[in-house]
Amino acid sequence: MRVGIIGTGAVGTGMGLLLRQRGYTIAGVASRTMASAERAAARLNCPAFADPETVARRSEIVFITTTDRAIGPVAAAIAGRGGFRPGQTVIHMSGSLTSAVLDPARQAGAMALALHPLQSCADADRAVANLPGSVFSLEGDREALALGERLVHDLEGEYFIISPEAKPLYHAAACVASNYLVSLVDLSYRLMQAAGMAPDMAARALAPLIEGTWSNIKEKGVPRALTGPIARGDVATIASHLRSMAARAPELEEIYRSLGLYTLGVAGRKGSLDARGAALLGQLLANPGSSPRSP
């Protein structure tokens, strides 16, 4: 099948490389700048075009892999210039947007699909390495879903069908797992630095702990991988954390308390925390300046 790629960033170029390896023909690429399109074309051994509608006309499958905010306007522009036709499938790879953003293609008779990998792709080479074997969400027209299943199969991945209404919650989950994980690691670094450790040493010191925790999650799952003072109901240790934080890193105390309160629920599901310990920790974490009282 002939594939066109509009938007030659990490995901678009990476998908093009992977599909070309698997026997798809790359009919052409276009991007915001001709220089970007030409760089991708050189890697994909295909022509580069200044206008996206030419790429669309040459293709049976059209990937619009621009920034999220550009997908709708690009689809509308291509449709307005006669770039879409019946029988085509138009695909975007946004995690937050549904296939509705491709309605201009639908109105021209094409099918629409939102195909999103639960994966992080910092550049095209990382996309080539990471996308195969990933889990993808699929949302769109029935015929387009069948093509999406084939594409995921060709990438040795897994897929699940998601409803348009659930897409924002799905994307929130992905953001927590990817973006907020970085934020949690940064929080840990900042607390370690407040304790007196140099930033570069903090990164080195915490890396084995982070990697070990992730290994435990993969091996045991949540909540069994949870360890530490909340899991064992150690009120005195959490109280000491909060006292030290109030003195040395007060700007980080609120987020620490919020995470602690959430972790009480995980510990409860693990079954390692009794009702009395949970009540004491909940009182301590929810009330700045308080000391725990027996329930």
pLDDT tens digits, 215-240 = 999 999 999 999 999 999 999 999 99
Nearest to 63 by CA among 118, 120, 2, 107: 2
The answer to whether residue 143 sits within a structural domain is: yes
Which tokens in the block code for residue 153?
């199969």
212: exposed, middle or buried (C-beta count within 10 Å: 0-12, 13-18, 19+)?
exposed
Q: For CA atoms 160, 161, 166, 167, give the dihedral sign.
A: positive
Nearest to 90 by CA among 80, 74, 133, 21: 74
Q: Please tell me whether residues 112 and 188 are part of one structural domain.
A: no
Q: What's the number of domains the chain is made of? A: 2
Is 264 found in the same domain as 148?
no
Burial 265-277 (b: 16+ CB within 10 A, else e): ebbeeeebbeeeb
Q: Name the burial class of residue 142, with classes exposed (0-12), middle (13-18) and buried (19+) by CB atoms within 10 angstroms of its CB.
A: exposed
- Where is the domain boundary, 135, 162, 189? 162
Task: Give the pLDDT of residue 288.
Answer: 85
Q: How far apart are CA 210 and CA 212, in angstroms?
A: 5
Residues 98 and 239 in one domain: no
Low-confidence stretches of the chain (pLDDT < 50) are 294-295
Structure tokens at 109: 């008779």
Q: Which domain holds residue 279?
A: 169-286
Are 222 and 205 part of one and the same domain? yes
pLDDT score at 122? 85
Same domain, residue pair 27 and 88: yes
Residue 241 to residue 287: CA distance in whole angstroms: 14
Q: Which of 116, 137, 162 is the last residue of a domain?
A: 162
| Prior bond of 223 cis (ω within 30°) | yes
Question: Considering 162, 193, 215, which residue would you say is the last residue of a domain?
Answer: 162
**77 and 197 belong to one structural domain:** no
Question: Which residues in the chain belong to E strands, given as ranges?
Answer: 2-6, 25-30, 48-49, 61-64, 89-92, 111-117, 135-140, 158-161
Strand partners, 111: 89
The verdict on 63 and 186 lying in the same domain is: no
For position 294, what pLDDT does the model report?
45
Predicted TM-score (pTM) of the model is 0.87
Residue 292 inside a domain? The answer is no
For residue 63, what are its two tokens?
């990937």
